Amino acid sequence: MTVGWTDGNTFLPINSCLLASSKEKNLIGPKEHYDGRSLAAKRRKLAQMKGTEAMIELLKTAQRTGHQADYVLFDTWFSNPAQLIAVKDLGLDSIAMIKKSSRIYYEYEGKPLSINKIFGICKKRRGRSKYLLSVNVMVGKDKKLPAKIVCVRNKKKKKDWIAFISTDPSLSEEEIIRIHGKRWKIEVFFKTCKSYLNLIGECHSLSYDALTAHVAIVFTRYLMIALEQRCNEDDRTLGEIFFFFTG
């Protein structure tokens, strides 16, 4: 799991965590006991949290170290109502793609409905509009949070659609779509790390500390390339710059 910063042009990894099972029988590699106050112990405790909880802890760490953000962007894995509220409690707004789940409800016109139900009963925009549907909803059960859902056409499947949610309802539909598009930078980041920077094949250790160190080294390699690209406003891809460095 990785938390990073982007302005849409440059992506910079800020922090990461290699998640592990909380059950000892599922763990492989050397098992050692560490002082609970040590970084190694804290890192292992974070790794054994649920992914949704670990994400919040990574965001808290980023805030404590002085990082600021206008919005937190993530995919469907973290976009449940409880997670949106947890991020809002940190003083941050979220923009995320949401699951088409029949078990996740949003309050629309006073009724708890799934996103599929909301999409089905609402009138769609026709023509060449950038989005199909835009509705204001409330998320959460005991603690409710206003949000805006925007549905767009799926470019890969013409008859399909994709839904985004923003906990900042004041944003226009176009802004929600545009800002969430910046999340694509993290996909480019992972592709670069795997294809050019040996994230997968270089380290074969079973040590959690060694694996964590390896990830940090790979991310540092990426930071050097990203900084070079940004400082020189280089139009080449990160892969081309990598080969320039290693040639």
Q: What pTM value is reported for the model?
A: 0.84
Residue 239 lies in a domain: no
Tally of domains in the chain: 1
The reply to whether 43 falls in a domain is: no
Question: For residue range 10-56, what is the model confidence (pLDDT) as tens digits?
Answer: 899 999 998 877 777 666 666 677 777 888 788 888 888 888 899 99
Q: Can you give the residue range of the structural domain that contains 90? A: 76-180
Q: DSSP 3-state helix, strand, coil percentages of the chain (rounded to 5)?
A: 40, 20, 40
Q: Is there a domain that residue 66 lies in? A: no
- pLDDT tens digits for range 78-117: 889 999 999 999 999 999 999 999 999 999 999 999 999 9
Residue 163 CA to residue 240 CA, distance in Å, equals 35
DSSP-derived secondary structure letter, 188? H
**187, part of any domain:** no
Specify if 146 maps to a domain: yes
Alpha helices (runs of H) in 23-95, residue ranges in sequence order = 39-47, 51-64, 81-89
**Any domain includes 123:** yes
Asked if residue 190 is part of any domain, the answer here is no
Q: How far is CA 230 from the centre of its chain?
A: 22
Whether residue 63 is contained in a domain is answered as no
- Given a contact cutoff of 8 angstroms between Cβ atoms, the answer to whether 230 and 9 are in contact is yes
Task: Indicate the DSSP class of residue 124.
Answer: P
